[in-house]
Amino acid sequence: MDEAAVRDRLRTVEDPELGDDIVTLGLVNDVTVSEDGEVAVDLALGAPYSPTETAIAGAVRDALAEEGIDPELSASIPDRDDSSGDEVLPNVKNVIAVASGKGGVGKSTVAVNLAAGLARRGARVGLFDADVYGPNVPRMVDADEPPMATEEETLVPPEKYGVKLMSMAFLVGEDDPVIWRGPMVHKVITQLTEDVEWGHLDYLVIDLPPGTGDTQLTMLQTIPVTGSVIVTTPQDVALDDARKGLQMFARHDTVVLGIAENMATFVCPDCGGEHDIFGTGGGSAFAEAHDLPFLGSIPLDPRVREGGDEGQPTVLDEESGTGESFRELTAAVANNTGIVHRRAVSESVAERTPPVDAGTGEGEH
Ligand SMILES: Nc1ncnc2c1ncn2[C@@H]1O[C@H](COP(=O)(O)OP(=O)(O)OP(=O)(O)O)[C@@H](O)[C@H]1O
């Protein structure tokens, strides 16, 4: 089978989210067939371990297996614009910022569970705790496990549940709000991106400080964020704040991966009844009104707080229904991250390939 024939065969593989076949969408970067018939396919997939991209890769294998081919698959996203070599975090495939319009809605809880949930799926993950007002990472790592400095004065992040952890609090001390004035924010962020040995990561989850002020904006300007997750509770006031978060991301052209609703239904451990303490459906209605994906709803569950205090993310509790909600949220975030990349690749391919009816001089469509 030659390269063209392999490509033809790959036209049978659909991207379920973009709704076309992967060849037409431009998601097949490269096909090579060696002299002894070995086939290698490079796909434009950017969200490792996301359910959709895992399924696409599986469908590629199946389609070629029917021809007796066992391909070598790889994935790469054509480089972002920056070819100057001084790209920020060049070894990190995806940076996901977790944000909230106000404090206390469970942003850190979502960030920790998202990071642990991605690692649970097999991804290489880092968690960067930039929330100085309520740093959660120091609580998660044992006190005798601070980051280690190397001879080159870089920091090796401690690891837990397969997640590399780094916190602002490790660098500046937990009680030092002074840094939030002026250029210090920029300096500390630069330190955290340049001096930390993150290694190669599939995902770096950033727990942003709550709110939508200058600090958050500076972070977005300094770090190349792939997409953001906005956490809200179902109450109207929280939703108003979430709206401000949206405006901040819009001003900065950051993709919003979706809305996560936290502290939704409370399942009473005593009576078994379900109570909607902060109202219900607010998060999904909000997402719909703003034409954004809804990533899922996490119940109000005392075990989430206990898990947080003990450094045991609920997402890793395979028996728990709330854990399952976090796993679904993780899957949705990974899937939407993949959509961001695949859509960008397919749009840039579409730009380079004029539609067949272009240039017919029949006027505008
Ligand atoms: N779904 C939930 N069920 C029960 N408790 C929760 C849930 N989500 C978060 N909590 C608890 O609520 C408190 C606040 O959560 P968290 O620290 O994640 O919020 P936050 O939005 O990051 O706040 P801040 O950034 O202001 O510190 C914590 O004690 C946490 O354990």
- Taking the domains of the chain in order of start, what are their residue ranges? 3-76, 92-347
Tens of pLDDT, residue by residue over 244-302, are: 887 887 777 889 999 999 988 877 777 777 777 766 678 888 888 888 999 999 999 98
Instruction: Using DSSP, state whether 165 is helix, strand or coil.
Output: strand
Fold of the domain built from segment(s) 3-76: GMP Synthetase; Chain A, domain 3 (3.30.300)
With 60 as the cut, is the pLDDT of residue 83 above it?
Answer: no
Burial of 278 (0-12, 13-18, 19+ CB in 10 A): buried
- DSSP characters for 306-358? HHHHHT--GGG-TT-HHHHHHHHHHHHHHHHHHHHHHHHHHHHHHHHS--TTT
More confident residue, 102 or 358: 102
- The annotation status of 107 as a binding-site residue, yes or no, is yes
| Residue 223 structure tokens | 């770090």
Q: Would you tell me the crossing angle of helices 214-222 and 184-194 to the nearest 10 degrees?
A: 40
Pick the residue whose CA is nearest to atom 19 on ligand 1.
106
Q: Is the CB of 103 under 6 A from ligand 1?
A: yes
Return the ligand 1 atom nearest residue 100 CA: 21
Residue type, 152: E
Instruction: Using DSSP, state whether 123 is helix, strand or coil.
Output: coil
- Position 86 confidence tier, pLDDT thresholds 50, 70, 90: low
With 50 as the cut, is the pLDDT of residue 88 above it?
Answer: yes
With 50 as the cut, is the pLDDT of residue 365 above it?
Answer: no
More confident residue, 214 or 141: 214
Q: Is the CB of 241 under 6 A from ligand 1?
A: no
Global pTM reads: 0.90
With 60 as the cut, is the pLDDT of residue 8 above it?
Answer: yes
Select from 305, 309, 315 the residue to mutate for testing ligand 1; criterion: most ligand atoms less than 8 Å from CB: 305
What pLDDT score was predicted for residue 201? 97
With 90 as the cut, is the pLDDT of residue 360 above it?
Answer: no
Lowest mean pLDDT among 7-16, 161-170, 224-233, 338-347: 161-170
Q: What would the mean pLDDT of 138-159 be, rounded to a whole number? A: 74
Span from the CA of 195 to the centroid of ligand 1 (angstroms): 29
Cβ-Cβ contacts under 8 Å for 211 (sequence gap 6 or more): 100, 101, 102, 103
Return the ligand 1 atom nearest residue 231 CA: 21
Return the ligand 1 atom nearest residue 298 CA: 1
With 50 as the cut, is the pLDDT of residue 215 above it?
Answer: yes
Span from the CA of 201 to the centroid of ligand 1 (angstroms): 26
Q: What would the mean pLDDT of 352-361 be, rounded to a whole number? A: 58
Q: Is the CB of 325 under 6 A from ligand 1?
A: no
Q: What Rg value do the Cα atoms of the chain yield, rounded?
A: 22
Q: Is the CB of 124 under 6 A from ligand 1?
A: no
Q: Is the CB of 313 under 6 A from ligand 1?
A: no
With 90 as the cut, is the pLDDT of residue 306 above it?
Answer: no
Q: What would the mean pLDDT of 228-237 be, rounded to a whole number? A: 86
- DSSP H helices, 51-102, are 51-65
Fold of the domain built from segment(s) 92-347: Rossmann fold (3.40.50)
Going by C-alpha positions, the residue among 26, 30, 27, 37 that lies closest to residue 2 is 37
Tens of pLDDT, residue by residue over 153-199, are: 788 899 999 999 988 777 765 555 555 555 677 777 888 788 899 99
Q: Is the CB of 301 under 6 A from ligand 1?
A: yes
Direct distance between the N- and C-terminal alpha carbons of the chain, in angstroms, rounded to an integer: 40
50-86 CB burial, b ≥16 within 10 A, e <16 = bebbbebbebbeebbeeeebebebebebeeeeeeeee
What pLDDT score was predicted for residue 263? 87
What pLDDT score was predicted for residue 355? 64
Return the ligand 1 atom nearest residue 112 CA: 18
- The annotation status of 106 as a binding-site residue, yes or no, is yes
More confident residue, 266 or 30: 30
Q: Is the CB of 321 under 6 A from ligand 1?
A: no
CA distance 250 to 255: 8
Q: What would the mean pLDDT of 4-26 be, rounded to a whole number? A: 96
| Residue 179 structure tokens | 């840094």
Q: What would the mean pLDDT of 113-117 be, rounded to a whole number? A: 96
What pLDDT score was predicted for residue 296? 94
Average predicted confidence (pLDDT) for the chain: 85
Pick the residue whose CA is nearest to atom 2 on ligand 1.
300
More confident residue, 187 or 70: 70
- Whole-angstrom CA distances from 341 to 3, 28, 53, 137, 347 are 25, 13, 11, 29, 10
- Position 141 confidence tier, pLDDT thresholds 50, 70, 90: low
- The annotation status of 103 as a binding-site residue, yes or no, is yes
